[in-house]
Each structure stands twice: as C-alpha cells, then as structure tokens.
Amino acid sequence: MHPLFVLVMAASVLTGYFVELFTLFLIVIVHEAGHVLVARYFGWHIREVKLLPFGGVAEVEDAGSLPAGEDALVAIAGPLQNVWMGLAAWGFGQLGLWEPEWSAYVVQANMMIGLFNLLPIYPLDGGKLLQAGLSYSLNFFSVMRWTARISLVLSSLMISVSLLGLLRPGGGIQMNLLVIGTFLFMTNWTYNRSIPYLFIRFLMHRDQVVIRKMAQGVLASPIVVDGRQSAVYAVRLLWRERYHLFYVMERGSSIARVAPEQRVVDRYLLERNPNRPVIELLQ
C-alpha cells in the first residue's frame, strides 16, 4: 500500500467512514486485479502492485519492450472492472437487494475511480494509454518526454483547480484534489528526471523486441544518421514498435556502415563516452 492510501485509511477510520473506506478498498483491489489478470494472460512478469486511493500501479520488469497494444489492453482492463461493478451495484439497487443510497454510493465510487484513472496523466491508466498511442508515432525517447510533459501540465492544472476556491469569498481548498494533484506532479517530476535511466533499461531489453519482430516476419525500419552524430543521438531514434537497421552516412552522402540495431545498442551500452561519434562506435 502506498503511504497516501494509508493516510486516507487513517482519516476514514478517525472520521467514522470505515465501511465506505473498506468498500473503496475492495473496488481498488478488483480494479487492479483486472490489470494483473490481463498482464498475466500476456505472460508479463509483475514485480509489485502499489495500491493508491484512486487505483494502483503495477510495476513490470521489462516495461518499454512490451508491445504497445498489450500495454493498452492491460491499462484499460482496470477501468472496465469499474464498469461492471457499477452496473452490478445499480442492478442490486433496482432489484431492492441494496438500499438506494448505498447502491448510489457504490455506483458513484466506481464512476469516480474509473473515470479519474482515464485521465491522460502518467502513471494513471489514461497516461499509459497515452504512452501506448504515442509509441506508434514517435521514437520511444520522445514518447517518454512527451508523456512526462503532458502529465506535468495536467497535474499542475489539477493543483490549480484545487486552489480556485481561494478566489471566492468564503471558499476553500479542495484538499483531496490538491493532495492527488501534488502526488501526480511529483511522480512525473521524478519520472521526467529518470528518463535517461529508464531509457537505458529500454535498451537493455531491445533484444526481446528484435526476436519478436523477426518471428513475425516484420521488415526492419531504416534509421539514417550522419556518422559524425553522437552515439546517444543515434540510439534515441529507436521506436518501441519497430526494429531497425542503421545506415551511417559519410560526407558526400555515401553509406559508410550498415548495422543492425542490436550491434549499435550493444556497443553503446559498453561505451563510456555516449557522445562519441557513431561512426567510431562501429569501427
């Protein structure tokens, strides 16, 4: 459990909302179970699941090397659990099995958790859907950068909305929104700073992508680079959903080297100077 969830639990117990908290806890558990079951179906190795008041975060070993389509299906599996739970709660209320007020509470809780998680802010489910979608139009380093930027902007907007009440006479701060917005902002601030290290992890799992794409009979996509450009510039051109052949050009537009991406990646990972020209890296 994330410390934020523990704080919410403590506050709920102190204010006498234990039953509502326990219901929220069960909804979050089922929400995360949706992610885990679909991830296990695809054969993912899950390190841990962190429970948060608005959902959870499943951490996997080889994020970035997994197919974007699978990533999207795993992400949407959580909110889909909120759909059937909300419909079931509504049905129980209509049949008289639950009190109308309790049925309405469970429906509202599922709607809140499901819709909130679809916001395009990392690491919410919507943020992972955003990242999976960007993987089809940008190289992976840019995907991570844009995911962090969009998430920082939207979480900043969330914080601003939580403070709007201060502009009205007698208004106040929406504390829940402020806490969650601040948590998401700090998470993405850390994520943005960690992108160079996360990218190294992405490179270390590229062999899995190459094997998968070759088994599917997918043709290699060309990456054309000037031999004088740095090695770090070259590897940052890799796409998540493709594997590549590097065409290293000399002056006069002649091809000096043609190398599969794994050779470039392996040389780069062993290189002490990431700014070394790519043509020297392949000698």
What is the per-residue pLDDT across 125-140, written as a single tens digit (0 to 9) for each? 999 999 999 999 999 9
CB 217, CB 192: distance < 8 Å: no
Alpha helix (H) ranges present in 175-219?
A: 175-204, 206-215
Pairing of strands 55-60, 46-52: antiparallel
Residue 190's CB is within 10 A of a number of other CB atoms, namely: 10
| More confident of the two residues 5 and 108 | 108
**Confidence check: pLDDT of 177 > 80:** yes
SS3 content of the chain, % helix, strand, coil (to 5): 65, 10, 25
The encoded tokens of residue 261 equal 């991406």
Number of H helices, E strands in the chain: 11, 5
Angle at 67 between CA 263 and CA 184, to 5 degrees: 105
Q: How confident is the model at residue 252 (pLDDT cuts 50, 70, 90)?
A: low
Q: Please, which residues bridge with residue 56 across strands?
A: 51
Note the pLDDT tens digit of each residue in 75-119. 999 999 999 999 999 999 999 899 999 999 999 999 999 999 999
